[in-house]
């Protein structure tokens, strides 16, 4: 695909489980188990799923912060895992990560301006004299004031800290921003401010986002394409309109119907799933969702459903479809 | 229907090095029998401290209930001794929290923790208590109850632990259940299960629920009556349908508009400018005035009183004072 910024093919990430006196590997947590997707330049790809679905691991593995187990990741057409260390380092500024809790990623004893500017200097992108101007510039685009530059992280509220986290990523002028639950820790009124900021920055700077979230209403608001993950596998990928209008996988349907809507006395056909999410170290056979699926058949217990295009770039992995 | 819980002008203050934080400042609310009342608000608005005050769980010396009345089932709770309060807690009022893992003892089995209140409050024998505990585990929708009773908290998932907390809370047949963000730490599909469970128990036992949450979706699903708090005060309250259909206070309006809603897409979300005021720097005013689009002179210097605008709703806002707006 010509305009693909990030291409992920059959990505796998297994974490070993060690136990015993000799610390032997006794099994693997299949955090990411054969996942493929493409993010085009300028689009926002949303990755949704519940705890333990592997969505954060995907975010970290596609920019090689965590090493893959298998598969291929192409960023701007270049195979990231084939790059020597020095070339990878040069590529780093182009792909940036934003976390849920910016406070824990800021050094409490370093002034905000220095925290934002340090990566610029590390990568030798600007001279010392220019750093301050670049930082002031990016503070302004993130809705912070120039006097904030000399303050310490503890002097900021949660929403402002997330703005600092965004500024820190943005100052390097990245192509791709991976945002891992960036608004989940914020109050509703502040959350709306940050969501709007993400949108504005995308319009003005042509950014591409991989937006990881458990909150479907936020994802619907921001993303143009959405992938739904369950226990390390992608169960469905479609454009936003298609996914919300015509969800095909029973898990997607259940997830959509479980989100509480602020309309009292609304009667909805809710699919309430029974049971808990199984452990990713010992996932169910066949379709991983079959233990909770209200429509599970005999086939689902044995055969892994193929992740295939059912038309219009709508991918789903389910025997029923 | 009478009031099961009546809080009048509750004030809970915390002394800090920098000054007094008025975490809860003159809050009044009522919970009727069989009713679900939701307190909604953002971090620091005092919603949890209101609940903690009812339970007598605000720890001195820093925090103290400095004024007001808390009447439960006709009895004033504030003058009660620790021991008397302990009898009411557990028997008549039960509470569940956001983090089930931190409310359970990690070195005792689920069964041991479930039988404790049954033996203590209901004076059951050890054997009868265990049988009842196993029955309760089944009632909250967990299979293999015997086996679960012998497991430790770390062996169960968050959703299962929250079910256990609910089982413990309802085990003594409380009249009032206080639930402080009971589903905030859970995944949506598990949240749906837990909310269903709470609704089911309420329907079966005519128990009242005081539910504290920041999630307007959860409020809409659970509440009969809603109380909106901001910076330690009630700014608006009303019957749930009315409150969502016709929010009166600019803060409530802003909150409802700024929440993204599934299948209702907007290009740009409304957002309330600014942030919650520092509780140490509050002076007499409407505390929302510097974030409010309708701010008038009077809002900066005088506090609006909570008063009825319709039979079913109250609001504390100068915009609804005829004399101010038209006079």
pLDDT bucket at B165, cuts 50 / 70 / 90: very high
- A263 touches B: beta carbon within 8 Å: yes
Tell me which DSSP letter residue A313 carries.
T
Cβ separation B263–A192 shorter than 8 A: no
E strand or H helix that includes residue A24: strand A24-40
For strands B63-72 and B75-76, give the pairing: antiparallel
A262 part of contact set with chain B, CB < 8 Å:
yes
φ, ψ (nearest 5 deg) of residue B304: -75, 145
Largest CA distance in chain B: 72
CB-based contact B192 A220, cutoff 8 Å: no
Would an 8 Å CB–CB cutoff place A228 in contact with chain B? no
Chain A CB contacts of B258 below 8 Å: 188-189, 191-192
B-chain CB neighbours of A235 within 8 Å are none
pLDDT given for residue B274 in this prediction = 86
Q: Where are the domains of chain B?
A: 3-92+174-261+269-320
Q: Is A220 domain-assigned?
A: no
CA distance A36 to chain B (A): 24
A107 near B CB under 8 A: no
Best to test chain B binding among A185, A276, A280, A293 (most B CBs inside 10 Å): A276
Determine the topology of domain B3-92+174-261+269-320 in CATH: Rossmann fold (3.40.50)
> Is A251 inside any structural domain?
yes
Q: Which of A193, A216, A272 sits opposite B196 (nearest CB)?
A: A272
Asked if A188 lies within 8 A of B216 by C-beta distance, the reply is yes
User: Is A204 part of the contact surface with chain B (CB cutoff 8 Å)?
Assistant: no
B261/A261 CB distance under 8 A? yes
* Partner A, chain B 113-142, Cβ-Cβ below 8 Å: 141
> By CA distance, what is B242's nearest residue in A?
A264
Q: Decide the pairing of beta strands B208-213 and B176-180.
A: parallel
Q: CB of B81 within 8 Å of any CB in chain A?
A: no
Residues A218, B260: C-beta atoms closer than 8 Å: yes
CB contact under 8 A, A263 and B220: yes
Instruction: Retrieve residue A216's tokens.
Output: 């479907």
Distance (Å, rounded) from C-alpha B190 to C-alpha B170?
19
Question: Is-contact A132 A149, C-beta < 8 A?
Answer: yes
List b or e across A299-311, with b for residues whose CB sees 16 or more CB atoms inside 10 angstroms.
ebeeeebebeeee
In a domain, A237, yes or no: no
Q: Do A214 and B188 touch (CB under 8 A)?
A: yes
Q: Which of A192, A196, A220 sits opposite B265 (nearest CB)?
A: A220
Helix, strand, coil percentages in chain B from 3-state DSSP, rounded to 5:
40, 25, 35
**Lowest-confidence range among A235-239, A274-278, B82-86, B131-135?**
A274-278
ipTM of this complex prediction, to 2 decimal places = 0.84
Is A241 in the B-facing interface, judged by CB distances under 8 Å? no
Residues of the domain holding A312: 246-320
A192 contacts chain B (CB < 8 A)? yes
Instruction: Write out the E strands in chain B.
Output: 3-16, 19-32, 36-40, 63-72, 75-76, 93-96, 176-180, 208-213, 225-230, 233-239, 307-310, 313-315
Query: Does any CB of chain A come closer than 8 Å to the CB of residue B275?
Result: yes
CB contact under 8 A, A159 and B268: no
**What is the edge-to-edge ordering of all strands in the sheet holding A78-79?**
A24-40, A4-19, A70-75, A78-79
Q: How confident is the model at residue B219, as a pLDDT? A: 96
Q: Which two tokens stand for residue A111?
A: 């002034």
The rounded distance, in Å, linking the Cα atoms of A285 and A288 is 6
The Cα B260–Cα B303 span in angstroms is 31
CA distance to partner chain B, nearest, from residue A121 (Å):
32
Q: What does the alpha-carbon distance between residue A113 and residue A105 come to, in Å, rounded to a whole number?
A: 14
* Nearest neighbour of A256 by CB, restricted to B218, B223, B262: B262
The pLDDT of residue B327 is 59
Strands ordered across the beta sheet of B36-40: B93-96, B176-180, B208-213, B36-40, B225-230, B233-239, B313-315, B307-310
- The residues, any chain, with a CB within 8 Å of residue B96's CB and separated by 6 or more, are B103, B162, B165, B166, B169, B177, B178, B179, B180, B182
- Cβ atoms of B317 and B249 closer than 8 Å: yes
- In this prediction, residue B324 has a pLDDT band, given cuts at 50, 70 and 90, of confident
Flag residues of chain A having pLDDT under 70: 1-2
Q: Would you state the structure tokens that stand for residue B201, as one six-digit string? A: 């128990």
Angle formed at CA A207 by CA A206 and CA A208, multiple of 5 degrees: 125
For residues A156 and A137, give the distance between their C-alpha atoms in angstroms, rounded to a whole number.
19
Q: Which residue has the tokens 């319709």?
A: B310
pLDDT at B207 over 60: yes
Structure tokens of B231? 């910076």
- Which of chain B's residues have a Cβ under 8 Å away from the Cβ of A188? 42, 214, 216, 255, 258-259
Count the helices and strands in chain A (H runs, E runs). Answer: 10, 12
* Nearest CA distance, A79 vs chain B (angstrom): 35
Q: Do B269 and A244 touch (CB under 8 A)?
A: no
- Residue of B197, B170, B200 whose CA lies nearest to B183: B197
Q: Is the minimum CB–CB distance between A253 and chain B shorter than 8 Å? A: no
How many angstroms away from the CA of B53 is the closest CA of chain A?
A: 23
Q: CA-to-CA distance for A257 and A156, rounded, in angstroms?
A: 37
Out of A188, A199, A261, name the one closest to residue B258 (CB): A188
- Cβ separation of A273 and B240 shorter than 8 Å? no
- CB of B215 within 8 Å of a chain A CB? The answer is yes
The pair of three-digit structure tokens given for residue B175, joined into one six-digit string: 């009249």
- Please count the structural domains in chain A: 1
Q: Do B195 and A262 touch (CB under 8 A)?
A: no
A2 at the B interface (CB within 8 A)? Answer: no
What's the pLDDT at B1? Answer: 54
Picking from A273-282, B113-122, B249-258, which range would have the lowest pLDDT averaged per residue? A273-282
Task: Write the DSSP assignment of A236-271 as a string of letters.
Answer: EEEEHHHHHHS--SHHHHHHHHHS--S-TT------
From A263, which residue of chain B is nearest by alpha-carbon distance? B220
**C-alpha distance from B38 to closest chain A C-alpha (Å):** 13
Q: Does A189 touch chain B (CB under 8 A)?
A: yes
């Amino acid at each position: 695909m010509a305009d693909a910024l990030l291409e992920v093919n059959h990505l796998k990430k297994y974490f070993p489980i060690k136990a015993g006196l000799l610390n032997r590997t006794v099994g693997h947590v299949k955090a990411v188990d054969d996942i493929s997707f493409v993010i085009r330049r300028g689009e926002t790809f949303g990755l949704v799923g519940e705890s333990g679905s592997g969505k954060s691991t995907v975010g970290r593995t596609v920019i090689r912060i965590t090493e893959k187990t298998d598969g291929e990741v192409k960023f701007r057409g270049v195979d990231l895992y084939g790059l020597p260390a020095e070339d990878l380092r040069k590529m780093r500024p182009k792909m940036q990560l934003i976390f849920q809790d910016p406070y824990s990623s800021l050094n409490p004893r370093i002034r905000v301006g220095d925290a934002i500017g340090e990566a610029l200097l590390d990568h030798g992108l600007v001279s010392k004299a220019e750093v301050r101007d670049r930082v002031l510039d990016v503070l302004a685009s993130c809705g912070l004031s120039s006097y904030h530059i000399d303050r310490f992280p503890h002097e900021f509220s949660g929403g402002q800290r997330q703005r600092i986290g965004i500024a820190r990523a943005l100052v390097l002028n990245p192509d791709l921003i991976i945002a891992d639950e960036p608004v989940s820790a914020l109050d509703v009124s502040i959350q709306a401010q940050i969501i709007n900021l993400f949108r504005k920055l995308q319009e003005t700077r042509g950014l591409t986002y991989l937006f990881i979230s458990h909150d479907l209403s936020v994802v619907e608001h921001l993303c143009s394409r959405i992938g739904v993950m369950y226990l390390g596998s992608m169960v469905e990928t479609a454009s936003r309109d298609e996914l919300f209008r015509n969800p095909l996988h029973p898990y997607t349907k259940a997830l959509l119907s479980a989100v509480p809507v602020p309309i009292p006395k609304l009667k909805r056909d809710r699919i309430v799933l029974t049971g808990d999410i199984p452990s990713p170290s010992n996932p169910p056979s066949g379709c991983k969702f079959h233990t909770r699926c209200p429509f599970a058949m005999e086939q689902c217990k044995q055969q892994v459903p193929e992740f295939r295009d059912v038309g219009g770039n709508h991918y789903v992995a389910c025997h029923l479809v | 229907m009478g009031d099961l819980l009546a809080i009048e002008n509750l004030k809970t203050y915390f002394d800090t090095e920098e000054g007094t934080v008025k975490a809860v400042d003159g809050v009044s609310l009522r919970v009727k029998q069989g009713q679900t009342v939701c307190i909604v608000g953002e971090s620091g608005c005092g919603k949890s401290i209101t609940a903690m005050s009812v339970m007598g769980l605000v720890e001195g010396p820093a925090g103290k209930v400095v004024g007001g009345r808390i009447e439960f089932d006709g009895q004033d709770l504030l003058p009660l001794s620790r021991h008397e309060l302990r009898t009411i807690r557990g028997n008549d009022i039960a509470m569940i929290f956001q983090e089930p893992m931190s409310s359970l003892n990690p070195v005792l089995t689920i069964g041991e923790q479930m039988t404790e209140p049954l033996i203590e409050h209901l004076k059951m024998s050890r054997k009868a208590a265990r049988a009842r505990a196993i029955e309760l585990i089944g009632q909250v929708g967990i299979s293999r109850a015997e086996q679960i009773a012998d497991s430790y908290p770390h062996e169960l998932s968050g959703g299962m632990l929250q079910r256990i907390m609910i089982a413990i809370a309802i085990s003594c047949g409380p009249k009032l259940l206080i639930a402080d963000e009971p589903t905030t730490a859970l995944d949506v599909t598990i949240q749906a299960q837990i909310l269903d469970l709470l609704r089911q128990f309420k329907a079966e036992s005519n128990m009242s629920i005081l539910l504290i949450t920041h999630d307007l979706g959860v409020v809409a699903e659970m509440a009969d009556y809603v109380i909106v708090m901001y910076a330690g005060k009630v700014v608006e309250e009303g019957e749930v349908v009315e409150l969502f259909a016709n929010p009166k206070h600019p803060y409530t309006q802003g909150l409802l508009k700024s929440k993204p809603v599934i299948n209702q897409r907007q290009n740009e979300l409304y957002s309330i400018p600014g942030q919650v005021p520092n509780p140490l720097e509050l002076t007499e005013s409407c505390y929302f005035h510097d974030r409010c689009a309708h701010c008038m002179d009077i809002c900066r210097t005088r506090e609006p009183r909570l008063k009825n605008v319709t039979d079913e709703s109250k609001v504390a806002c100068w915009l609804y004072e005829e004399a101010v707006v038209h006079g």
